[in-house]
Amino acid sequence: MPDQAVSAVHAEGHDPALLHHFADAQQQRDSSSLGMWLFLATEVMFFGGLFCGYLIYRLQFFGDFGAASSSLSIKLGATNTVVLICSSLTVVLAVWAAQHAKRTLLLSSLILTIILGFVFLGIKGIEYKDKFDEHHVPGPSFSFENVKIPGQPADHYAKPNHAELYFSLYFAMTGLHALHMIIGAGIFVWITVRAWKGQFGPDYYTPVEMAGLYWHFVDIIWIYLFPLLYLIDRHP
């Protein structure tokens, strides 16, 4: 029997969501908010390692990276960016709804967020399938023969091994981002279930806000990933 359930005797006018060791709800909300922001700081450094590798290799092999990046479809990338931005909006609406006890708006925006999340993952799946078909997945099956380097005179061909390096980075970064999307979607399903049970209201909406912070962070990562991976050297 975990300890804090025993602690009911301590808190006077016990608010069900108030954990025993916090003095009041405000202290608890501030702690969760600070805790989540610190976790997001670790995530910034986690993706930071990948961005560092990307920065260094892109400066070394600019032409080949441009050629490899041109093989990605901008349409899908741009739609994914729009999808994520919309999901950020629905998340903000959800938090606002929880604060103002608007149950239907809360539930609908949460569900919309989850749907948009899965739309993003769907589009990502299509892109990955294209890469599989075009043999652009690093490994023995990788082939990137005679692809011209954009912006260079006609007979400049990209080096296959540098292109494989690009796709290694591409799959590492977008794969890690997609994994975070899946975790995010899972969190929102859990939040929706709790919202359905009516646990959130004007005086207790922290979980929705924390899930929102996480989702916005994952959106910010994609805001950087999209131009860096998709939009190198696209001009004629």
Q: Return the closest-CA partner of residue 141 out of 151, 131, 155, 156.
A: 131
Q: Are 40 and 213 a contacting pair, CB within 8 Å?
A: yes
Tokens of 101: 């006890």
Is the dihedral angle over the CA atoms 94, 78, 115, 188 positive or is it negative? negative
CA angle 24, 195, 210 (to 5 degrees): 55
Q: How many residues bind another protein (CB under 8 A)?
A: 98
The interface region with another protein, picked from 118-126, 127-135, 162-170, 184-192 by CB under 8 A, is 162-170
Residue list 195-214, contact with another protein (CB under 8 A): 202-203, 209, 212-213
Which string of x and - marks every residue 110-149 that binds another protein (by CB under 8 A)?
----------------------------xxx-x-------
- Sole window of 114-122, 124-132, 190-198, 224-232 interacting with another protein (rule: CB under 8 A): 224-232
The position carrying tokens 């890690």 is 176
CA atoms within 13 A on the CB side of 161: 0
H-type alpha helices, 10-146: 25-60, 62-70, 74-99, 103-133
To another protein, the closest distance from the beta carbon of 82 in angstroms equals 6
Smallest gap, in angstroms, from Cβ of residue 118 to another protein? 20
Residue type, 113: T
Report which of 230, 175, 220 is spatially closest to residue 85, judged by C-alpha positions: 220
Q: By CB under 8 A, what part of segment 167-196 binds another protein? A: 168-169, 171-172, 176
* Out of 161, 183, 190, 193, the residue judged to bind another protein by CB under 8 A: 161
| CB nearer to another protein: pick between 124 and 162 | 162
Asked whether position 151 contacts another protein by CB under 8 A, the answer is: yes
Query: Residue 185 CB, nearest distance to another protein (Å)?
Result: 18
Identity of the residue numbered 222: W
**Contacts (CB under 8 A) with another protein, residues 6-65:** 7, 10, 19-23, 25-27, 30-31, 33-35, 37-53, 55-57, 59-61, 63
Helix, strand or coil, per DSSP, at residue 148: strand
Among 82, 183, 189, 193, binds another protein (CB under 8 A): 82
